[in-house]
C-alpha cells in the first residue's frame, strides 16, 4: 500500500544506484551513514537493498545553478549530472564516518550564503555527495 496522500501524483522518490562493487557500497552507505537496510533482495539473479533516507525531493538545476552550487561548496565546477545532497543532524560526525568508510573529501566544510553548513564528498564509485546541516542545528 503506498504511503502518503492519495491525491498526490507521486508517493515516493527512489534513486537506484548501480555499483561495480556492491559489498563496498553497502558498507559505505549503511555503516558510513549509520542506516539499516529497509529491505534486502538476494534472489540468485543479483543483490539489492533499500535504504530509508527520510524525506525525498528532486532538485532540478540548470547548468548555471549547478555551477553556482559547486562554486559555493568547492570553489569550482566539479559535480556531474547527479549529486546526492543529504541533510544530517551532525555534519562533522557524518563526514568523519563516511571518510572512515572510503569517501574522498572534495572540499572541506563551508557555510553557505543561506547559513547551512555543507561539505562535499565523493563515494568510492565517484558519486558526489553534499552533506548539509541546517543553520538552526548545532555544529
pLDDT one-digit tens code per residue, 35-60 = 999 999 998 899 999 999 999 999 99
Query: To which residue does cell 571518510 refer?
Result: 99
Q: How far are the Cα atoms of 23, 68, 94, 99 from residue 104, in angstroms, in the given order?
A: 18, 22, 13, 6
Query: Domain residues for 87?
Result: 63-133
Residue 87 lies in a domain: yes
Specify the DSSP element, H or E, that contains 14: none
Residue 114 lies in a domain: yes
Q: Specify the pTM.
A: 0.88
pLDDT tier, 138 (very low <50, low <70, confident <90, very high otherwise): very low
Long-range contacts of 48-55 (CB under 8 A, 24+ apart): 50/14, 53/86, 54/87
Alpha-carbon gap, residue 13 to 84, rounded angstroms:
13
pLDDT at 124: 96
Yes or no: say if 48 and 93 are a contact pair by the CB < 8 Å rule: no
Dihedral class, residue 116 (left if φ above 0, else alpha if ψ from -120 to 50, else beta): beta
CATH code where residue 71 lies: 3.10.180.10
Residue 45 lies in a domain: no
Residue 124 lies in a domain: yes
Domain tally, the chain: 1
Alpha helix ranges (H) inside the chain: 22-26, 32-33, 63-74, 91-100
Alpha-carbon gap, residue 37 to 139, rounded angstroms:
27
**pLDDT tens per residue, range 55-110:** 999 999 999 999 999 999 999 999 999 999 999 999 999 999 999 999 999 999 99
Yes or no: say if 69 and 118 are a contact pair by the CB < 8 Å rule: no
Amino acid at each position: 500500500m503506498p504511503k502518503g496522500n492519495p491525491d498526490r501524483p507521486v508517493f515516493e522518490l527512489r534513486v537506484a544506484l548501480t555499483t561495480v562493487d556492491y559489498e563496498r557500497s553497502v558498507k559505505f552507505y549503511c555503516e558510513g551513514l549509520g542506516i539499516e537496510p529497509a529491505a534486502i533482495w538476494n534472489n540468485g539473479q543479483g543483490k539489492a537493498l533499500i535504504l530509508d533516507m527520510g524525506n525525498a525531493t528532486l532538485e532540478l538545476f540548470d547548468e548555471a545553478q549547478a555551477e553556482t552550487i559547486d562554486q559555493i561548496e568547492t570553489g569550482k565546477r566539479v559535480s556531474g549530472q547527479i549529486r546526492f545532497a543529504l541533510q544530517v543532524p551532525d555534519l562533522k560526525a557524518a563526514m568523519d564516518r563516511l571518510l572512515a568508510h572510503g569517501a574522498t573529501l572534495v572540499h572541506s566544510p563551508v557555510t553557505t550564503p543561506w547559513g547551512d553548513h555543507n561539505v562535499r564528498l565523493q563515494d568510492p564509485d565517484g558519486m558526489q555527495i553534499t552533506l548539509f546541516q541546517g543553520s538552526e542545528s548545532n555544529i
